[in-house]
Chain A
Amino acid sequence: MIRDITIGQYYPADSVIHKLDPRVKLVGTMVFLVSLFLFQSFSGYIAATVFLGCVIKLSKVPLKFMLKGLKAVFILLLFSVVFNLFLTDGETLLPIFGKLRITKEGLRLAVFMAIRLVYLIIGTSIMTLTTTPNDLTDGLEKGLRPLKKIRVPVHEIAMMMSIALRFIPILLEETDKIMKAQMARGADFESGNFIQRARNMIPILVPLFISAFRRANDLAMAMEARCYHGGEGRTKMKPLIYKTRDKIAYGTFVIYLLTVIGVNMVSRVL
């Protein structure tokens, strides 16, 4: 039951996007997100849609999984659309009641905002769906390495992140198990008011914390037993090296960005 929650679910498939260097995907996602806020014209959106469509097609991940992430932000999406729709000043398109009206500018903003949000979610979903959490932190570590010069503990941050990510499914599974065990003893997690419900969580939380501490302890011990001593002089089994496809991908990003900026400028001049 609790496993149904998806946090950055990786979808295994054999595609070009999956094989790309995680750094490329991080940069690509960043470029895409920035581009979403660069343009104001309709043609810019067409460029973004084409780009996104191609990436989705290449990734071989069913669209269903991309749209899953949208469920979580549905309320936010609704709010922003409604506010933009009704509360923007401008040329009246459809009067409703008193000051409440739909304006041309409002409609435009609402539609743009909705598209931006949806693309934002889908864009980031593609990254997490096609990259394992470990690859992602590896990419971050290597990508942020220059920051080491100003004494940012890049390796430690990356290690902490990958351990945290590694523990999420384990703790979810553990929660599921403990919940079931307590339900087998007649525990009830659904009924009662807020305070009762909070109290009913104790039989889950206590064993969960204990097991989390036990696991953390075991892991620390296991790392020490294998002589872990931080990032200094540590090498990788599979070091990240850019391949041809990664360079092609970077090229594509540049072309995409130039297209968006170009389209934007042209439409502004017109």
Chain B
Amino acid sequence: MSIKIENLNYIYGKGTAYEIKALSDINLTIEDGEFIGLIGHTGSGKSTLIQHLNGLVKADSGAIYVNGENIYQDGYSMKKLRGKVGLVFQYPEHQLFEVDVFSDVCFGPKNQGLSTEEAAKKARLALQSVGLSEKYYKQSPFELSGGQKRRAAIAGVLAMEPDVLILDEPMAGLDPKGRDEILDKIARLHRERHLTIILVSHSMEDVAKYADRLIVMNRGSVQFQGTPREVFSHYKELEKIGLSAPQITYLMHELKKKGFSVDVDAATVSEAKESILKCLRTGKRPEGV
């Protein structure tokens, strides 16, 4: 499913003393099946932008086309849209409310008008794809650990079988193992079910590793977009807007400075490894090393 955003503007608290221009003139295209990394400093408007994509926040001006249809046109069903564009909020475990995990995951599909059996089927599939084992299904969501709660909440959105999955910092507050597991699960959904993914993250390493394309936001507008390599080649500018490149990019630049002919645009550890090994094999070393 493709999404096209045209000249989007949004102001919080319009007409009050506390107006905040959260988005200004956003133009973006997101193709079907892409894995997008959305990065930007705190308060740059990432969360606001993604809430537009499933109609939770309505733009002050501009248009959003989902599969070519303007979502602001009369008669466009927001409910349908929310089934197609799944949005997982920051700290999604705060939305859990049912008596047990399984019924909570059924909430979404039931709202879509599915029967209890169909909803249960989808809930089971969703819980499997986030890797939550069957023994938790009948437990209260409040008895789970933080990481398990997070997974249950993500399953609650996945159960609606969206075509686009948007995740707002799904790894915040998890331990390294928990975050890797969740990221791997998301990457798998992208690979196997061809979901379009938009991942909001503050970790440059993560987006470099998983995303096909990065969108960098700065103070409510889009500053850069492109492949991780392209975007991180602007690492000096990124630093100016409160971001950075992955650690490995800095290492590669250091190596280059020392005279090794490595690829400075390598954005992930594996790319860097290749490049360093190649450099060593060819035997071109700087003087004195």
Residues of A within 8 A of B (CB): 3, 9, 11-12, 65, 177-178, 180-188, 202-203, 206-207, 210-211
In contact, A184 and B13 (Cβ under 8 angstroms) = no
Could you say which residues of chain A place their CB within 8 Å of the CB of B16?
9
Could you say which residues of chain B place their CB within 8 Å of the CB of A207?
94-97
Residues of B within 8 A of A (CB): 13, 16-17, 51, 54, 56, 79, 82-83, 86-87, 89, 92, 94-97, 107-108, 111-112, 142, 156-157, 160
Could you say which residues of chain B place their CB within 8 Å of the CB of A183?
56, 82
Closest to A202 in B: B97
In contact, A203 and B107 (Cβ under 8 angstroms) = yes
20 more A-B contacts (CB under 8 A) besides A65-B17, A203-B95, A203-B107? A3-B13, A9-B17, A177-B89, A178-B95, A180-B51, A180-B89, A181-B92, A181-B95, A182-B107, A184-B89, A185-B95, A185-B107, A186-B79, A186-B83, A186-B107, A202-B97, A203-B97, A206-B97, A207-B94, A210-B142
Query: For the complex, what is the distance from the CA of A202 to the CA of B111, rounded to whole Å?
Result: 14
The 5 closest A-B CB pairs, nearest first, are A186-B111, A206-B97, A181-B95, A185-B108, A184-B87
Contact flag A185-B157 (CB < 8 Å), given A11-B17, A65-B17, A207-B95: yes
In contact, B108 and A211 (Cβ under 8 angstroms) = no
- For this complex, 15 residue pairs linking A to B, each with C-beta atoms less than 8 Å apart, are A9-B16, A11-B17, A12-B17, A180-B89, A181-B89, A182-B95, A184-B89, A185-B95, A185-B156, A186-B79, A186-B83, A186-B160, A187-B111, A207-B95, A207-B97
Query: For the complex, what is the distance from the CA of A187 to the CA of B160, rounded to whole Å?
Result: 12
Closest to A11 in B: B17
Could you say which residues of chain B place their CB within 8 Å of the CB of A186?
79, 82-83, 107-108, 111-112, 160
Closest to B18 in A: A12
In contact, A184 and B86 (Cβ under 8 angstroms) = yes
Min C-beta distance of B53 to chain A, whole Å? 10
Contact of B94 among A65, A178, A202 (CB under 8 A): A178
Could you say which residues of chain B place their CB within 8 Å of the CB of A188?
79, 111
Min C-beta distance of B103 to chain A, whole Å? 11
Closest to B79 in A: A186
Could you say which residues of chain A place their CB within 8 Å of the CB of B108?
185-186
Min C-beta distance of B202 to chain A, whole Å? 19
Contact of B111 among A9, A12, A65, A185 (CB under 8 A): A185
Query: For the complex, what is the distance from the CA of A177 to the CA of B96, rounded to whole Å?
Result: 13
Min C-beta distance of A136 to chain B, whole Å? 18
Could you say which residues of chain A place their CB within 8 Å of the CB of B89?
177, 180-181, 184
Query: For the complex, what is the distance from the CA of A202 to the CA of B107, rounded to whole Å?
Result: 12
Contact flag A184-B94 (CB < 8 Å), given A65-B17, A203-B107, A210-B142: no
Could you say which residues of chain B place their CB within 8 Å of the CB of A202?
97
Min C-beta distance of A187 to chain B, whole Å? 6
Min C-beta distance of A129 to chain B, whole Å? 9
Query: For the complex, what is the distance from the CA of A3 to the CA of B13, rounded to whole Å?
Result: 8
Could you say which residues of chain B place their CB within 8 Å of the CB of A180?
51, 56, 89
Query: For the complex, what is the distance from the CA of A180 to the CA of B112, rounded to whole Å?
Result: 16
Query: For the complex, what is the distance from the CA of A9 to the CA of B92, rounded to whole Å?
Result: 30
Could you say which residues of chain A place their CB within 8 Å of the CB of B111?
185-188
Query: For the complex, what is the distance from the CA of A76 to the CA of B56, rounded to whole Å?
Result: 34
Could you say which residues of chain B place their CB within 8 Å of the CB of A182?
95, 107
Could you say which residues of chain B place their CB within 8 Å of the CB of A206?
97
Query: For the complex, what is the distance from the CA of A177 to the CA of B94, rounded to whole Å?
Result: 9
Closest to A177 in B: B89
Min C-beta distance of B96 to chain A, whole Å? 7
Query: For the complex, what is the distance from the CA of A113 to the CA of B113, rounded to whole Å?
Result: 53
